[in-house]
Amino acid sequence: MSRTSAPAWMGRPTPAVRIAKAVALTVVVLLVVFPLWTVLATSLATPQNVIDNGGWVIWPEHLSFDAYADILKGGIITRALLVSAGVTVIGTALSLVCTIALAYTLSRPDVYGGKPMLLLVLFTFLFPPGMVPLFLVVRSVGLFDQYAALVLPFLINVFNLVVMRGFFQSIPKELIDAARMDGAGELVVLRRVVLPLSKAVIAVIGLFYAVAYWNRFFEAIIYFNDQSKWPISTVLRQYVTGGASIAETSGELAVASPQSVQMAVVVLATLPIVLVYPFLQRYFAKGVLTGALKA
């Protein structure tokens, strides 16, 4: 092979290879879309339609929103959605503020004690606390049965911190030096120079935190005795694993079938993240890869 010839992976694929790729991509898409469509179709099916199809509906004969009306009329699901929304919004905001502050501090080479602090942070990443020590800490500081127990113990994720620190380090040092020569302090540099250039990584890390807070269910089971404080992910687990017992005992099932209610809860639990993700997808390659490579 000539030295000037392009590598095999850069050449134009043969028709057979392109057909194989198209078939593989189609199969993967169907494997992803079909379960989602089945969940949505079952949630919109009538009780008789669900019974006739053995519990799963691929194409509903008549659209019915009874399942959504049943679970959104002010009962358990409505409270759980509000709890999850509040925990996600407040937790994501606090986590971003703390992560940005610590990442910027650790990204500056002249910070006193920066290296030991970074090693301490990485130590917690390599050796995370177990469930029992974390439970004892939460109970000892008075967070038991409090919404803060879903936020404060998970305020900073080390992986997100390392990625954001690497992104901050990739910002040209000349820009920061120029701002300092103009008399800008650290807060001004962070607010007017670093943050405007870091919108991509902030959007990605914010989505990571939001997904983590929205999907947090196990901690609610451990830290909450009052089930009315459970977030939507914990209630969703109870619906899926325990059937519709929660809805039946609270009087929420009026018209829809249990299967439709379960699938409607799944749709409501996944819909917010599905709606937000497309708007932030274009930031992923720039935000994560730049920070990870630099780190």
- HSE-CB for 160 with a 13 A CA cutoff: 25
Which range has highest mean pLDDT (26-30, 243-247, 265-269, 271-275)?
26-30
CB 105 within 8 A of CB 114: yes
Which tens digit of pLDDT belongs to each residue from 230-270? 898 888 877 767 654 444 444 444 455 677 888 888 888 88
Which residue in 27, 199, 245, 249 sits closest to 96, CA to CA?
A: 199
Rounded to the nearest angstrom, the gap between the alpha carbon of residue 260 and the centroid of all alpha carbons in its chain is 25
CATH 3.30.70.270 fits 70-294, yes or no: no
Which tens digit of pLDDT belongs to each residue from 126-153? 887 778 888 888 888 888 888 988 999 8
